[in-house]
Chain A
Amino acid sequence: MDWYPLFNSLRIAAISTAAVFFLGIAAAQWIARLPRGVKGVLDVILTLPLVLPPTVVGWLLLMLLGPKRPLGAWVQEAFGVRLVMTWQSAIFATVVVAFPLMYRTARGAFESFDQNLADAGRTLGRSNAWVFWRVQMPCCKQGVLAGTVLAFARALGEYGATSMLAGYTPGRTATISTTVYQLWRTGDDPGALRWVLVNLAISAVFLLAISLLEHRRERR
């Protein structure tokens, strides 16, 4: 069996989760401090990919990144690099759809963080960065972890936008989700089932690991 889709899906999900982790907490931290009106508008814009169908997200990204479209054409001219139909293209799609999950969950955690603790740290002479990483983040661990898990799961399960941006090139851009679709469409149900089981197994293992981690933390 060709294991490329597994390797590719995990790679894409891992990279997007890392990107979304930093983008999400940065956005959450920054936006939490903004005035209510601006915060509301930004909230809507940044949460939009969560409620949009993946095909809508895919179409919008294609209109931006395609070789004949503004950003895509410029990158092609300046760097000779094509932004679509590569395995990396899927990362654009997964980052966009996973971002709202990380952002909203982190925002929720940060907003329920007791600012007195942060202020206490500052009165003791600690920098803002120290306070953020050594006081705020550990206190918001649960929320941030939950957001990361959701983001990874969403990135692993992306299909519509990935299919539109990366196409289906076996051995190059195939992911588990696009492979299952192609195998089903070409009448290979046993093959599709194998990949379905692989995906179920990974997701189950991942969620189990996370819940064990939480359980251990609670006991301490």
Chain B
Amino acid sequence: MKKLLSFTLALAALLTLTACAPKPEETELHIFAAASMTEVLDEFIEAYSAVDPHVTIIPTSDSSGTLLTQIQEGADCDLFISASPKQMDVLDEAGSLLEGTRVDLLENKVTLAVPQGNPKGIESFDQLARLLESGDVLLAVGNSDVPVGQYTQKIFAYYGLDEASLAGALTYGSNVKEVTTQVSEGTVDCGIIYATDAFSAGLTVVDSATEEMCGQVIYPAAVLAGSKHPEEARAFLDLLRGNSTRDDAVRKMFEAVGFSPIR
């Protein structure tokens, strides 16, 4: 599979390079991606570096809210992939995105994950809602600046729960990986994270949120208007969209961890 991907990447790179003037000097591409994409992005970067060694990709992974703040504060960023349209909209409205590059890249699912052994016997969101009201559970969630925390708030609203009154039952993390670690270490009874994080950490998922509960979990991607290497950024984005490949290698890499690429 990796051989096939490398071949198609080579083809894609060749086609892209012939389209524009050859750039022999080193290019640094800064990619800011949502924390939940850490593992799969590393795989793509590895594959891309093997094909085009002139481009050094520098990934930055954190909560999309944190990344947004960094971009707004002037951090060098060429490509931004956010875990929710919210952060991308902010940049869009401020005119910070390169025209015509914004696309909806992936879809994910918000899930309820438990530590190994499921000590508290958590089985579903419905049951969790009841436990939260009685204060019998410690649930780890992202804070309101983190996309997964924002989706969690929608789930709370769906169940008619008042977050302020749940004090004592919730512990807030500053990005989804922090929440995931708390679940895998067993320091909390359960956590609300993405399906992809649960998969990458080997955690058991006991329930998934439906579209009715938290809406669609869409990951938009866009090249920044202030990017110094828009062509390379576009090329990498095209790779992530699987546009330059005829086969399903790219789609399979995303689906392997639980993402659903959007055509």
**Which chain A residue shows the least CB distance to B169?**
A169
Contacts of A62 in B (CB 8 A): 185, 187
Cβ-defined contact, B185 with A66, below 8 A: yes
Binds A, one of B10-18, B49-57, B138-146, B249-257: B138-146
B4 proximal to A (CB < 8 A): no
Contacts of B185 in A (CB 8 A): 62, 66-68
Contact with B along A135-174 (1 / 0, CB 8 A): 0000000000000000000000000000000011111110
Cβ-defined contact, B143 with A182, below 8 A: yes
Cβ-defined contact, B187 with A167, below 8 A: yes
Binds A, one of B122-130, B170-178, B198-206, B225-233: B170-178
A66 CA / B116 CA spacing, docked (Å):
14
B168 proximal to A (CB < 8 A): yes
B182 proximal to A (CB < 8 A): yes
Cβ-defined contact, A186 with B145, below 8 A: yes
Contact of B186 among A66, A168, A171, A172 (CB under 8 A): A66
B220 proximal to A (CB < 8 A): no
Cβ-defined contact, B167 with A169, below 8 A: yes
Cβ-defined contact, A66 with B66, below 8 A: no
* Known contacts A169-B167, A172-B168, A185-B66; A67 and B186 CB within 8 A of each other: yes
Contacts of B116 in A (CB 8 A): 68
Contacts of A66 in B (CB 8 A): 185-187
B83 proximal to A (CB < 8 A): no
Cβ-defined contact, A167 with B171, below 8 A: yes
Interface residues on A, range: 10 to 19
Cβ-defined contact, B171 with A168, below 8 A: yes
**Which chain A residue shows the least CB distance to B171?**
A167
Contact with B along A78-94 (1 / 0, CB 8 A): 00001011000000000
A125 proximal to B (CB < 8 A): no
Could you tell me the distance in whole angstroms from the C-beta of A189 to the nearest C-beta in chain B? 12
**Which chain A residue shows the least CB distance to B149?**
A186
Chain B CB count within 10 A is highest, among A68, A167, A171, for A167
B99-122 residues with Cβ-Cβ distance < 8 A to A are 116
Contacts of A185 in B (CB 8 A): 65-66, 143, 145, 174
Cβ-defined contact, A170 with B167, below 8 A: yes
B188 proximal to A (CB < 8 A): yes
A187 proximal to B (CB < 8 A): yes
* Known contacts A68-B185, A185-B66, A186-B145; A168 and B172 CB within 8 A of each other: yes
Contact with B along A85-122 (1 / 0, CB 8 A): 10000000000000000000000000000000000000
Cβ-defined contact, B144 with A186, below 8 A: yes
B20-54 residues with Cβ-Cβ distance < 8 A to A are none
Contact with B along A53-69 (1 / 0, CB 8 A): 00000000010001110
Could you tell me the distance in whole angstroms from the C-beta of B43 to the nearest C-beta in chain A? 26
Contacts of B138 in A (CB 8 A): 85, 169
Cβ-defined contact, A67 with B167, below 8 A: no
A188 CA / B169 CA spacing, docked (Å):
22
Cβ-defined contact, B186 with A68, below 8 A: yes
Contact of B140 among A68, A167, A186 (CB under 8 A): A167
A170 CA / B170 CA spacing, docked (Å):
8
* Known contacts A85-B171, A167-B171, A170-B167; A187 and B145 CB within 8 A of each other: yes
A185 CA / B116 CA spacing, docked (Å):
30
A62 CA / B182 CA spacing, docked (Å):
11
Could you tell me the distance in whole angstroms from the C-beta of A139 to the nearest C-beta in chain B? 46
A173 CA / B167 CA spacing, docked (Å):
10
**B interface residues, Cβ below 8 angstroms from A:** 65-66, 116, 138, 140, 143-145, 167-174, 182, 185-188
A-B contact pairs, 12 of them (CB 8 A): A62-B187, A66-B187, A67-B187, A85-B171, A167-B187, A167-B188, A169-B167, A169-B170, A169-B172, A182-B143, A185-B65, A187-B145
**A interface residues, Cβ below 8 angstroms from B:** 62, 66-68, 82, 84-85, 167-173, 181-182, 185-187
